């Protein structure tokens, strides 16, 4: 008689690390950006690549930080929200949503009122037909 398969399998179970399960975008503080740009400015020929590898940065990030620092100073470096700025504020979006909902409900109300008036007219016609038969 063959042995059950469960006897051959190990009893251990793999548990994934929660830190490896979720990846998030790195956020760099203004102080960090200033420190790295200062270090990059002091680098001699050939040392910049080692700095970028040590900090796990791309040269385009450093380029962008240098450009922001030159154009707007420290305040320009403090921007950390990626992507385009929204055209409407939260209140404006909510107002627009409520306007669309109001328009939709007004159309439903017009349809319901039209149905009621149609039912009234049909009832009047039936009353006229019935009252004409009684006479």
Q: Give residue 10's pLDDT.
A: 61
27: Cβ–Cβ under 8 A, 6 or more apart, which residues? 80
Looking at residue 107, its pLDDT comes to 97
For residue 84, what pLDDT is reported? 79
pLDDT score at 105? 97
The pLDDT of residue 38: 93
Q: List the pLDDT tens digit at each of the 135 positions of the chain.
A: 566 665 665 666 777 777 777 777 788 889 999 999 999 999 998 899 999 999 999 999 999 999 999 988 887 888 656 677 778 888 999 999 999 999 999 999 999 999 999 999 999 999 999 887 655
Contact in structure between 36 and 55 (CB atoms under 8 Å): yes
Residues 6+ apart with CB under 8 A from 66: 37, 40
What was the pLDDT predicted at 13? Answer: 74
pLDDT of residue 80: 59
CA distance linking residue 62 with residue 51, whole number of Å: 11
């Amino acid at each position: 008689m063959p042995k059950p398969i469960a006897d051959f399998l190990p009893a251990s179970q793999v548990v994934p690390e929660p830190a490896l399960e979720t990846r998030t975008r790195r956020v760099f503080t203004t102080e960090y950006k200033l420190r790295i740009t200062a270090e990059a400015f002091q680098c001699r020929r050939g040392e910049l690549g080692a700095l970028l590898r040590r900090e796990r940065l791309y040269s385009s990030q450093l380029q962008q930080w240098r450009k922001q620092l030159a154009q707007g100073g420290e305040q320009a470096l403090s921007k950390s929200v990626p992507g385009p700025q929204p055209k409407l504020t939260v209140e404006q979006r909510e107002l627009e949503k409520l306007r669309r909902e109001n328009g939709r409900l007004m159309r439903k109300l017009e349809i319901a009122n039209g149905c009621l008036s149609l039912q009234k007219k049909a009832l009047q016609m039936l009353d006229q037909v019935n009252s004409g038969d009684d006479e």
